[in-house]
Chain A
Amino acid sequence: MGDVNLNKADDVILTMKGIDKSFPGVHALDHVDLELRRGEVHALMGENGAGKSTLMKVLTGIYTKDSGSIWYEGREVEFHNTHEAQEAGIVIVHQELNMVGDLTVAQNIFIGREFKKGIMIDDKKMIRESRKLFDELKIDIDPKAKMSDLTVGKQQMCEIAKAISHKAKVIIFDEPSAALTEKEIEDLFSIIRDLRAQNLGIIYISHRMDEIKVITDRVTVMRDGAYVGTLITDQCTKEDIINMMVGRVIYEDPKTKSAVPADAPVVLKVEHLNAGKMVQDVSFELHKGEILGFSGLMGAGRTETARALFGADPKQSGDIYINGEKVEINSPEDAVKHGIGYLSEDRKRFGIVVQKSITENSTLATLDQYMSGMFINKAEERKITERYIDELSTKTPGPDQLVVNLSGGNQQKVVIAKWLVRNCDILIFDEPTRGIDVGAKNEIYKLMNRLAAEGKSIIMISSEMTEILRMSDRIVIMCEGRKTGEIRIEEATQEAIMDKATRDIK
């Protein structure tokens, strides 16, 4: 992509300088810089949680920055909402499409700013204008078609057309290719090239190394909310980028040696698991007393694998063996019967009943054990809850406390208690420390290690590299629905994991 004059500083359309943003407990952006030129496709890369999306949200006015400045077309700007950013010509094409499926293509493109004829909406004009846009982009979509009848790729094209119709000068693509087929990606790229030729500035967020090489001119890498550096794509290798993405110092002690003997019995064996696009032919084994880390980038299919295994989502095929015996798991009910417990990444939605007490949550999966005849034995229920409050050192005034009043770490302990009460031998922790502060994190880690030492087997899905390296005995790496590698902790390095987690250059 050598046709951009990278030395022409006056071609800069957008500069973000020293952007700082904190949320309670998290320093999300730490003095981040970004420079975008006219006629440039600029990749923004980084691991999950590196701060890419936050930075883009600051740019488009969804978040307000704490400090720093944004210069756009030569003057300092501050947008207070996406509408203001759009008016100025900065638009974002989201990964999740914001389309109203039941409206037509044209109605979607002009939603919120419909042309009017008197008090009536001028549909004909909207269709005409849409057609003009599509001609400009050289894409073939009927403006009168219903949005939900289009493929995801075509819907994305409509999103782009909508962006351009705002007279955009800067377009941000947030993982645009995630849901597209190869052919659709090619179409997308030819549109992006056209837009570049028209001197627009384009920010391209993606995890796919091959695409970065093909379509972008420069790459800015972020890590843990901080700016790492900017490279010229043509002059760097995949290794360069990965090193910048992961090159952090790990303060917490990483596990260097697995404590699990090589001949520990296999408690769970999954063979050729298939569940939709996100889980393709996944096989792995889990040993007794082991913590098996599942690493990968956002959308790698790790949670989907866990949900399919747990019976929460339907699977197309695949065999599951527990302690050597083949089992049928078609619902969470089946999974729980076979001693599997799942701790969801989204605790509030899937894990706990926030407005109920610790007691009610603790026995939710085991109520049948606390029945005397037809009735719940509330004394027994309370006793077991108190025992686990004690054992997990959950901080609460008592078992009657509503879960909503607990901190994130203590809520997580309530979910753990739920599965321990159930006597589950296989625990799936999906992002066990998400939204939990550092001190409580350590406690959860200690607890997981203790459970493993006591003979429980743990699958830990984590997007945090430090967590994976600190906790796992063995690491399974996934990328786009497939298992791409398996590393013992003794051989694991950040680079090796990231290399397998990103798609290779073809």
Chain B
Amino acid sequence: MTKKKSIFTQEVIVGIIVIALYFIFRGISADFGKYTTFLTLTDISYYYVLMAIGVAFPLITGGVDLSIGTGLICYALAGGYLIRAFSWPTGLAILVSILFGVAIGLANGVLVSIMGLPPFLATLCTCMITRGLGSVVTGSFAVPWPTAKQDNGWFHAIFKMTIVTADGKMKFPLGLVWIILLMLVMQFVLAHTRFGRYTIAIGSNKEAAILSGINVKFYHVMVYAVSGLFAGLASIAYAAYVPTVQPGTGAGMELDAIGGAIVGGVSASGGYGTIYGTVLGAYVIMLLKQGLPYIGLNANMQQIITGFVLIGAVVIDIIKRRAIR
């Protein structure tokens, strides 16, 4: 038996779906086709995609990270609070937000890998903790990060740059460039580094990895640290998108990210996945979420459709696995 390589991998199909969805929505709704809508869509997409890239790693090990949604809010609150209450420079606050994410990720990793908690449970606990922690830090007040027009609001330009053209000023979604770069880097990490190889090995056959003399405990912790790191990065993208960060929110956002990764071909039972698939899958979920209202379907319909899309993705995964065994 030889391996048959079809060019129609799940990743390619999902890529086609993303493009198709975009043009279908454009075709139906004139508003959807506007450049400002495009800008809003990209703004919203960043934090979802970042979360999805991060959570792909625990998913590939056969685990999950439920703490990224509430975590993201918590880290954004912490950073924003440092700027507002203590006049910290924005750069330092951003660093704190990101490191906060890494710390919670490490905690998840220790709970799962060293203490042996099921990933679902461990990250559900940190999900609750970060949700409460965010409110405690700010004394339950909402925190606005500096706006783009304020001096210390320069970080908005990371995601949306203003460029001067012949006919005046124009906004360019620079964040897309970063997303593509991060996607390539993390795909490279997954496919070409020891960390990536071991992430997949843990998801495919953890026992075999242990018996091969791999320090599985260490790498398993790092997997969750990566997820936390990307939740930290997502918190900055979120802060750039919303006018104020509200304590107590964020629950459920992780599900869209996880759903995106799975739509993008990450195996729900671990052992397989790609980062470009994950990013494309996240865009499918994001487009459904943001685009369906433009064609007259309300939020409830969007939830139902997303649910069915997910079932479809998981069924495809199961059929694929059956073919392998």
Residues of A within 8 A of B (CB): 310, 312, 331-333, 335-337, 342, 344, 349-356, 360, 364-365, 367-368, 371, 374-376, 378, 397, 400-402, 404-405, 418, 422
Judging by beta carbons under 8 Å apart, are B194 and A401 in contact?
no
Tally the A-B contacts, defined by beta carbons under 8 Å. 82
Judging by beta carbons under 8 Å apart, are A356 and B207 in contact?
no
Judging by beta carbons under 8 Å apart, are A352 and B213 in contact?
no
Judging by beta carbons under 8 Å apart, are B204 and A418 in contact?
no
Judging by beta carbons under 8 Å apart, are B194 and A367 in contact?
yes
Closest residue of chain B to A400 (Cβ to Cβ) is: B3
| Given A352-B205, A374-B193, 6 additional A-B pairs, CB 8 A | A342-B211, A349-B208, A353-B271, A354-B205, A365-B214, A375-B193
Q: Is the interface of A mostly helix, strand, loop or mixed?
A: mixed
Judging by beta carbons under 8 Å apart, are B201 and A404 in contact?
no
For B211, give its contact among A344, A368, A402 (CB under 8 Å). Answer: A344
CA distance A365 to B209 in the complex (A): 8
Instruction: Take A378-B192, A404-B324, A405-B1 as given contacts and tell me if A351 and B197 are in contact as well, using a CB distance cutoff of 8 Å.
Output: no
Chain B proximity of A26: nearest CB distance (Å): 21
| Residues in chain B near residue A310, CB distance under 8 A | 211
Judging by beta carbons under 8 Å apart, are A333 and B194 in contact?
no
CA distance A350 to B192 in the complex (A): 24
Judging by beta carbons under 8 Å apart, are A336 and B194 in contact?
no
CA distance A332 to B211 in the complex (A): 6
Chain A proximity of B314: nearest CB distance (Å): 17
CA distance A376 to B208 in the complex (A): 20
Judging by beta carbons under 8 Å apart, are B201 and A356 in contact?
yes
CA distance A341 to B306 in the complex (A): 48
Judging by beta carbons under 8 Å apart, are B211 and A376 in contact?
no
Quick one: which of B93-109 are within 8 Å of A by CB? Answer: none
Interface status of B212 (Cβ within 8 A of chain A): yes
| Residues in chain B near residue A312, CB distance under 8 A | 210-211
For A332, give its contact among B3, B193, B212 (CB under 8 Å). Answer: B212
Judging by beta carbons under 8 Å apart, are B205 and A349 in contact?
yes
Judging by beta carbons under 8 Å apart, are A397 and B213 in contact?
no
Judging by beta carbons under 8 Å apart, are A397 and B272 in contact?
no
Report the interface size class on chain B: 20 to 34
Interface status of B2 (Cβ within 8 A of chain A): yes
Closest residue of chain B to A378 (Cβ to Cβ) is: B192
Judging by beta carbons under 8 Å apart, are A376 and B324 in contact?
no
For B213, give its contact among A335, A349, A353, A356 (CB under 8 Å). Answer: A335
CA distance A404 to B207 in the complex (A): 17
A-facing mask of B1-38, CB < 8 A → 1, else 0? 11100000000000000000000000000000000000
Judging by beta carbons under 8 Å apart, are A353 and B3 in contact?
no
Instruction: Take A376-B193, A376-B194 as given contacts and tell me if A353 and B211 are in contact as well, using a CB distance cutoff of 8 Å.
Output: no
| Residues in chain B near residue A365, CB distance under 8 A | 212-214
Judging by beta carbons under 8 Å apart, are B212 and A355 in contact?
no
Chain B proximity of A143: nearest CB distance (Å): 32
Residues of B within 8 A of A (CB): 1-3, 188, 192-194, 197-198, 200-201, 204-205, 207-215, 271-272, 324-325
| Residues in chain A near residue B193, CB distance under 8 A | 374-376
CA distance A356 to B193 in the complex (A): 16
Closest residue of chain A to B5 (Cβ to Cβ) is: A400
CA distance A333 to B197 in the complex (A): 17
For A353, give its contact among B192, B204, B215 (CB under 8 Å). Answer: B204
Closest residue of chain B to A340 (Cβ to Cβ) is: B213
CA distance A367 to B197 in the complex (A): 9
Judging by beta carbons under 8 Å apart, are B213 and A333 in contact?
yes
For A333, give its contact among B2, B192, B207, B215 (CB under 8 Å). Answer: B215
Instruction: Take A333-B214, A402-B3 as given contacts and tell me if A368 and B194 are in contact as well, using a CB distance cutoff of 8 Å.
Output: yes
Closest residue of chain A to B191 (Cβ to Cβ) is: A376
| Residues in chain A near residue B201, CB distance under 8 A | 353, 356, 360, 364
| Residues in chain B near residue A352, CB distance under 8 A | 205, 208
Closest residue of chain A to B205 (Cβ to Cβ) is: A353
| Residues in chain B near residue A356, CB distance under 8 A | 200-201, 204
| Residues in chain B near residue A422, CB distance under 8 A | 213
Q: List 21 A-B contacts (CB under 8 A).
A: A310-B211, A331-B213, A333-B213, A349-B205, A349-B207, A349-B208, A350-B207, A353-B208, A355-B271, A360-B201, A364-B209, A365-B214, A367-B194, A371-B194, A375-B192, A376-B194, A397-B2, A400-B3, A402-B3, A404-B325, A405-B3
| Residues in chain A near residue B213, CB distance under 8 A | 331-333, 335-337, 365, 422
For B2, give its contact among A335, A350, A401 (CB under 8 Å). Answer: A401
Closest residue of chain A to B195 (Cβ to Cβ) is: A374
| Residues in chain B near residue A331, CB distance under 8 A | 213, 215
Closest residue of chain B to A343 (Cβ to Cβ) is: B211
For A376, give its contact among B192, B205, B214 (CB under 8 Å). Answer: B192
Closest residue of chain A to B218 (Cβ to Cβ) is: A333
CA distance A256 to B204 in the complex (A): 43
CA distance A318 to B215 in the complex (A): 23
Judging by beta carbons under 8 Å apart, are A402 and B324 in contact?
yes
Instruction: Take A350-B208, A364-B214 as given contacts and tell me if A355 and B194 are in contact as well, using a CB distance cutoff of 8 Å.
Output: no
CA distance A3 to B271 in the complex (A): 62
| Residues in chain A near residue B2, CB distance under 8 A | 397, 401
| Residues in chain B near residue A375, CB distance under 8 A | 188, 192-193
Chain A proximity of B268: nearest CB distance (Å): 14
CA distance A368 to B198 in the complex (A): 12
Chain B proximity of A350: nearest CB distance (Å): 5
CA distance A496 to B3 in the complex (A): 50
Chain B proximity of A388: nearest CB distance (Å): 15
Chain A proximity of B238: nearest CB distance (Å): 30
| Residues in chain B near residue A397, CB distance under 8 A | 2
Chain B proximity of A456: nearest CB distance (Å): 17
CA distance A353 to B201 in the complex (A): 7
CA distance A342 to B215 in the complex (A): 16
Q: Which of A342, A349, A350, A378 is the most central at the interface, judged by chain B CB atoms within 10 Å of its CB?
A: A350
Closest residue of chain B to A419 (Cβ to Cβ) is: B212
Chain A proximity of B184: nearest CB distance (Å): 14
Closest residue of chain B to A348 (Cβ to Cβ) is: B205
| Residues in chain A near residue B210, CB distance under 8 A | 312, 332
Closest residue of chain A to B1 (Cβ to Cβ) is: A405
Judging by beta carbons under 8 Å apart, are B214 and A351 in contact?
no
CA distance A397 to B1 in the complex (A): 8
CA distance A397 to B272 in the complex (A): 23
Chain A proximity of B5: nearest CB distance (Å): 10
| Residues in chain B near residue A344, CB distance under 8 A | 211
Chain A proximity of B118: nearest CB distance (Å): 17
CA distance A495 to B132 in the complex (A): 71
| Residues in chain A near residue B200, CB distance under 8 A | 356
| Residues in chain B near residue A337, CB distance under 8 A | 213
CA distance A333 to B210 in the complex (A): 8
CA distance A269 to B325 in the complex (A): 41
Judging by beta carbons under 8 Å apart, are A355 and B214 in contact?
no
| Residues in chain B near residue A368, CB distance under 8 A | 194
